[in-house]
Structure 1
């Protein structure tokens, strides 16, 4: 105050005018996520979701390792083997388009991704437990089909659910490393078979006069991820995006604070955001029309995707995906049973051939022992550990090299070169496997097909993200997934038919598909210099 004021007593008075503390403006979901950072919460959430993601891959793979052990129980012919490994993909083919292009948004809008996953993993766990006990081929196929419907439907939202907990700045990095951990599940069925199925003499049991052979125990252990996933999904939170869409801003804010505390090891009170901007909540009429709107939007995007200027790119990618998924899924699902047959040949039949006679792969597979389905009184020979250990090594190589090549091929030209090279490698493996001198050499050549096809599949999906605009990428991913499942189902069914008629023709057919496909990526070169607006891939 001034000294001229009345009542001045010789002291100097100072008055501080303090403005009221400003609160941060309301933030939307992406801003709130960015403020939480990336750390322990994201890692724990990924670990909790892994059993669900692993279930999807283990369900598609486990049949290949029990198909020979169940040969008598299911009265398997070559074609029945093809049906057994294809049934789950047929379910995915039917459910995939319905879910991706029609049902997904309206179901998730009602239930949220967490509840959808919970329902899906619960039903899949039931399927897993039921096919352990079945001795009927048709019941086994029906359960595998239902599992395929669940994998392509409710369980397909796992990566999209995880993406809703990551800010755009972290999503690309997270998707890359999460994809590696998910693909690592390809190793589990082979490693488990190497550990368990070689212990046939003692790893079985009887409950209430019901005998459970080793292959059923194997399926029971393969069911553990689905049961574990049912437990972990109950512990996982609802996504903040879903909570905000439901108008539950308080719960969303508490979740953001928890994420901030675990990621930054700071007090939740230090989280800088205090208020959230809620999206417009859909009324009942709008909610009821969500499915119709989704279908209409999907049709529009499909028309745009398969029209100029995107028609050439998507057509080429569709063929490449179809071809590489035939090579990958046919080879990885038929290597275990075929090499078991070759082991049986070595034990039972090889002694009747001249010691110096050159024997091809097809001659080892056919003729094989005639099985008496009425009595089943034959004894299977003991297996060499290399049969399943080698399958484990191949699966590990496919995962490791697939990820490595994805990191190295960071430009479109590099991706095109990788696809040409891997298709050539796959063709060489398929053409040469039958005439390799020894079984280990045959295995190496077949491994070329599996590993090269896996690398190609990863590269096709990565190339898709570079040549198509962000708005169309999710639709393109759905189309490529559908085509990949179609290739897996059609390839296994066709292979089982052809190999039953002429073994050599089946192997040469795989080689011809790969050889023709080596020329297809070259047509992408003219498109490689065109710029596409960058964007973050949503899974």
Structure 2
């Protein structure tokens, strides 16, 4: 609770006085007035705490395969190419559903689609845990990515719409912190489950392993999210936008009552304004394709086109390098661990240690080393450093400005990628990997801040969505290419990562200053 207060309530107390909230409003209130009158307190804390497992859903959906590969490679006969495809298909699914989810949440609200989305994602994760071959697992991961994309984006909107303006900007920081905690929890869970190395035969064609149990357990956050939303209210902002003011007023009364402890009837606002409908009926009569093009077309004309291409390119190269290496880290750490296992615990240069994952032509029996606590510890260290980096950067972003900060992050991250390749031992490699992951992760988020500052209010959401889609597409391509680079040798993958980030640095130098595109 103290952490939530620090993040969302810098100069207030959760226990505000009754006089402050009992102020009577004679005229119908707009959304901002109504949500402010409902206060900030127990309801907000409860919702934010309950959202933690939901924030973890996207982390688990995109990252679980990274920990499954070393344990399941023999059971599923996984090649390097199979591993790359399993990482990539999740992003392919999320790209395929981007516009579908946007339409659903804009027309059906937040609550019901979130319930369905979380429950469906949980079901697909459960099915992935029952996989007996790589093809079935790929199909389940694709559908998991297809489902995952919408609920997480809508969750951030939902939480924001339950907070007044002065706390609303802090919600993305909170959700980002929750995601970072999830990246720490995941290897911790893997360290307990995957080394169990059991085999349970449930039927002739259904065999469960420790990695199966790991995937089944990862369905819990999504299933919990769907269950929790049965008891949460619909977004009052959405209800007002649909003309359902009576229902919205009831939601405001519930929030007010929980926050203050006062009866719902004492909520000071009695009526809400009718929000204007800006050509809604006209838009509804248009085809979805025409309506969608009408929304995004300004991004593809001057003066915004050049800037849009630049920010998409920055995010593309940043995310391609970040999520390619991030999703292969457990496999790389496993290779380092295996090298030490076969060499009496001695370390070597990174290239020598990674030679154990190179494909061979011999007929040796497939081997999985479950004595790998170091793999999970290294993953926890990298995730922890990344979480801490957000706190550090938040103190310097206003000093340097987001453009200069993005320049610095991409350049130093490029140097760290080179450092990984030249690492003389595993400890130095871990140091450069943690630095690379932190800098690139923060850089991808700073890029989104740059997007917000460079585009008009009416285009910001669409610009951010399209830029994020470019990032997901890049992550998909990167994970398909990375195993091919690994097969070529040690230098190609890391030199390629360094080159991508250096190109990112060069492009970031061409970004305009905030508000140069519009007044």
Give the superposition deviation at 1:312: 3.0
For the 8 Å contact 1:401–1:451, the answer to whether it is kept is yes
Picking from 492, 516, 527, the partner of 2:513 is 527
Instruction: Confirm or deny that 1:84 pairs with 2:86.
Output: yes
State the distance in 1 between where 2:113 and 2:77 align.
37
Secondary structure of 1:212 counterpart: strand
State the distance in 2 between where 1:245 and 1:504 align.
55
User: How is 1:41-120 mapped onto 2 (pairs within 5 angstroms)?
Assistant: 41-100=43-102, 103-104=103-104, 108-109=106-107, 111-120=108-117
Change in CA separation of 1:363 and 1:169 when aligned onto 2, cut-off 3 Å: same
For the 8 Å contact 2:90–2:143, the answer to whether it is kept is yes
Query: 1:409-449 CA distances to partner (integer Å, 9 max, x unpaired)?
Result: 026x5222222222222212221223312111112112222
Greater mean alpha carbon deviation, residues 315-324 or residues 139-148 = 315-324
State the distance in 2 between where 1:130 and 1:274 align.
48
Picking from 283, 294, 298, the partner of 1:300 is 294
For the 8 Å contact 2:350–2:424, the answer to whether it is kept is no
The aligned counterpart of 2:30 is: 28
For the 8 Å contact 2:299–2:463, the answer to whether it is kept is yes
Give the superposition deviation at 1:91: 0.7
Secondary structure of 1:67 counterpart: helix
Greater mean alpha carbon deviation, residues 236-245 or residues 510-519 = 236-245
Secondary structure of 1:257 counterpart: helix
For the 8 Å contact 2:329–2:379, the answer to whether it is kept is yes
State the distance in 2 between where 1:407 and 1:178 align.
18
The aligned counterpart of 1:471 is: 458
Picking from 350, 363, 372, the partner of 2:352 is 363
Change in CA separation of 1:295 and 1:184 when aligned onto 2, cut-off 3 Å: farther
Change in CA separation of 1:373 and 1:118 when aligned onto 2, cut-off 3 Å: farther
The aligned counterpart of 1:252 is: 248
TM-score (norm 2): 0.87
Secondary structure of 1:151 counterpart: helix
State the distance in 2 between where 1:247 and 1:309 align.
36
TM-score (norm 1): 0.84
Picking from 423, 444, 453, the partner of 2:431 is 444
User: How is 1:19-418 mapped onto 2 (pairs within 5 angstroms)?
Assistant: 24-100=26-102, 103-104=103-104, 108-109=106-107, 111-197=108-194, 199-200=195-196, 207=202, 211-245=207-241, 247-279=243-275, 286=281, 290=284, 292=286, 295-348=289-342, 350=343, 359-368=348-357, 378-410=366-398, 413-418=400-405
Instruction: Confirm or deny that 1:433 pairs with 2:410.
Output: no
Picking from 479, 504, 507, the partner of 1:492 is 479
Greater mean alpha carbon deviation, residues 141-150 or residues 289-298 = 289-298
Gaps of 5+ in 1: 1-21, 534-539
Aligned Cα RMSD in Å? 3.0
Give the superposition deviation at 1:394: 0.8
Give the superposition deviation at 1:469: 1.3
State the distance in 2 between where 1:472 and 1:403 align.
29
State the distance in 2 between where 1:410 and 1:268 align.
42
For the 8 Å contact 1:260–1:271, the answer to whether it is kept is yes
For the 8 Å contact 1:345–1:368, the answer to whether it is kept is no
For the 8 Å contact 1:108–1:116, the answer to whether it is kept is no
Secondary structure of 1:366 counterpart: helix
Aligned residues: 495
The aligned counterpart of 1:502 is: 489
State the distance in 1 between where 2:492 and 2:352 align.
13
State the distance in 2 between where 1:170 and 1:142 align.
40
Give the superposition deviation at 1:188: 2.2
For the 8 Å contact 1:187–1:395, the answer to whether it is kept is yes
For the 8 Å contact 1:58–1:188, the answer to whether it is kept is no
Secondary structure of 2:97 counterpart: helix
Q: Which has the larger radius of gyration?
A: 1
Secondary structure of 1:454 counterpart: helix
Change in CA separation of 1:403 and 1:463 when aligned onto 2, cut-off 3 Å: farther
Gaps of 5+ in 2: 1-23
State the distance in 2 between where 1:291 and 1:160 align.
26
State the distance in 2 between where 1:394 and 1:359 align.
20
Query: 1:422-479 CA distances to partner (integer Å, 9 max, x unpaired)?
Result: 2222212221223312111112112222111101011111111122111110011111
Give the superposition deviation at 1:237: 0.9
Query: 1:75-115 CA distances to partner (integer Å, 9 max, x unpaired)?
Result: 11111110011110011122214444xx34xx642x32111
Secondary structure of 2:494 counterpart: helix
